[in-house]
Structure 1
Amino acid sequence: MSAKLIFSDIDGTLINDELKVTPKTRDAIRQQIIKGNVFIPASARLPKGITTAVGQILTVFPMIAYNGALALDESGRALITRFFDAKKAAAICRYVDEQNNGSAWNIYSGYVWYCAKEKSPLVKHEEEIVDVKATPTTVDQIEKLQGVHKALIMGKSEELDRMQKELTEKFPDLSFVRSSRTLLEVVLKGVSKASAVKILAEEYKVPLKDCIAFGDNYNDEEMLEEVGHPVLLGNAPAELKEKIGLDHVTLDNNHDGIAEALAKFE
């Protein structure tokens, strides 16, 4: 069979470790589009960062950004936009600053990515990955935003483990999910790639059982469980592979895992 909607995470999934979509994966996705299917990136990235990656395949496409807090159709029309309060975002920023452990906060509102005035090396590294520049600002200015789609905390794995637990207790109406060992994503509770996938499947009038989803980390877990055809990349954590099922694991992101899996749906 061939899925009518194909959802895919980007980092560690669609792109390889050199931040490229390999020719084999690109061509496999284009073949699916030629058949009339729709490719929808579903990422923690901001829209401009999604375009950087998916632009290697397509010029116009729908997208799920900020782990499901924002979704856009092919024309750029918002299908989903879910903010949380800017005062809570500012409180998270102050909390991170108080830790004084080398962690860095990031705030995303609309199409803009904000960071601290003194740009952390962690932020500079992320800028290189997504090919987008963050806007330095103060926490006081963050507090004045109309709303926040996502916050992101960068830091050492063991520090994020501790902060994730503490912040979950402090902000029970927010969701704190790891997208990698060194990244902690923050969105409004109830927001997820899975919730966005359900809405887009309804928008395109495609049953979830006919959808494929590709992912490689814990912020993809609910999305993979939501669709009829979940596929986990070989570079995913072992614990997640056990949860999703080893029969749903493909090759890793450096060896055309997406292309390998799509060939089996012919």
Structure 2
Amino acid sequence: MHALIFFSDLDGTLLHSDNSLSNTTLQAIKKVKNHDDLFVPISSRLPESIQSFIPCEAPIVAHNGAMIILEDKIISYTIPTQTAYDICSYCNDLDWNIYDGNNWYSTNQYFKDHSIEESYIGKTSIKIELEDIKKIQTIHKIVCIGSIDTVTSYLEETYSSLHITRSASYYLEITNIEATKSNALKTVANHYQIPLENTIAFGDYYNDEDMLEMAGVSYVVD
């Protein structure tokens, strides 16, 4: 039986600023596993993007907790398609993005920083029109990139049933109200019958805050 679970955010926490993972960190992760403890990457990234850095079997937590991948099952928390359409319509002056598992859809408008985002994630998004959102049946996360201060207050007031958080000053992430890192931490810990006081979490930004409060021991990176 596992004694401890280590949860770590990726961007700004485990990864270097050049989007790389050091050999020292990889060795530390292997050491955790050799002690029969668990290391769980917990990120806003897509599952395949997480696995490209940390090639390991489940568990992993993707899309800020909207997808929890365990050995024998996948737990998903989604956003209704019509709600996603309404949000993206309101945010149509921003670079809106929709995530469905490993699928990434983005506005067909041109945003100069979008290619940087694709390079950062290591995947090319599928460009769609606003009306195409209505064809997407499963939506795990919406991300709006740009001058998000202009839309944040409205979205928080209008969609109180959703979880809305910043993961950077220009990056607004929207998920199901149950899709939080703290809920994912608790779900994984319960699955492995490990008490919360035996969980350790690492993070760096607002979307990590609830996880850091939930864990038995927490660290915020410099």
TM-score by structure 1 length?
Answer: 0.79
Report the counterpart of residue 36 of structure 2 in structure 1. Answer: 36
Matched position secondary structure for 1:67: helix
How far apart, CA to CA, are the structure 2 residues paired with 1:38 and 1:119? 42
Q: For 1:1-266, list aligned pairs within 5 A.
A: 4-55=4-55, 59-74=56-71, 77-78=73-74, 80-97=75-92, 100=93, 103-155=94-146, 159-234=147-222
Q: How high is the sequence identity, in percent, across the aligned residues?
A: 33
Instruction: Could you tell me which runs of 5 or more consecutive residues in structure 1 were left unpaired when the two chains were aligned.
Output: 235-266
| 1:121-157 superposed Cα distances (whole Å, 9 cap, x missing partner) | 33221111111121111221112221311000011xx
The farther-off stretch of 115-124 and 3-12 is 115-124
Q: Report deviation, 1:82.
A: 0.7
Q: Report deviation, 1:218.
A: 0.5
How far apart, CA to CA, are the structure 1 residues paired with 2:150 and 2:185? 30
| 1:45-101 superposed Cα distances (whole Å, 9 cap, x missing partner) | 11122122223xxx32411111111110246x30x201111111111111111xx3x
When residues 119 and 45 of structure 1 are mapped into structure 2, their CA distance, relative to the original with a 3 A threshold, is farther
How far apart, CA to CA, are the structure 2 residues paired with 1:190 and 1:83? 9
How far apart, CA to CA, are the structure 2 residues paired with 1:7 and 1:215? 9
How far apart, CA to CA, are the structure 2 residues paired with 1:31 and 1:172? 42
Instruction: Could you tell me which runs of 5 or more consecutive residues in structure 2 were left unpaired when the two chains were aligned.
Output: none
TM-score by structure 2 length?
Answer: 0.94
The answer to whether the 8 A contact 2:143-2:174 is kept is: yes
Q: Report deviation, 1:168.
A: 1.1
Q: Report deviation, 1:233.
A: 0.5
Report the counterpart of residue 247 of structure 1 in structure 2. Answer: none
How far apart, CA to CA, are the structure 2 residues paired with 1:68 and 1:141? 25
Q: Report deviation, 1:176.
A: 1.2
Q: Report deviation, 1:3.
A: 6.0
How far apart, CA to CA, are the structure 2 residues paired with 1:160 and 1:137? 21
Q: Report deviation, 1:119.
A: 4.7
The answer to whether the 8 A contact 1:39-1:61 is kept is: no
- Give the counterpart letter for 2:125 in structure 1: A
How far apart, CA to CA, are the structure 2 residues paired with 1:134 and 1:120? 13
Aligned residues: 221
Matched position secondary structure for 2:16: coil
The answer to whether the 8 A contact 1:61-1:74 is kept is: yes
CA RMSD in angstroms, aligned pairs only: 1.6
The answer to whether the 8 A contact 2:77-2:178 is kept is: no
How far apart, CA to CA, are the structure 2 residues paired with 1:135 and 1:74? 29
Matched position secondary structure for 2:114: helix
The answer to whether the 8 A contact 1:43-1:66 is kept is: yes
How far apart, CA to CA, are the structure 1 residues paired with 2:60 and 2:28? 19
How far apart, CA to CA, are the structure 1 residues paired with 2:43 and 2:131? 28
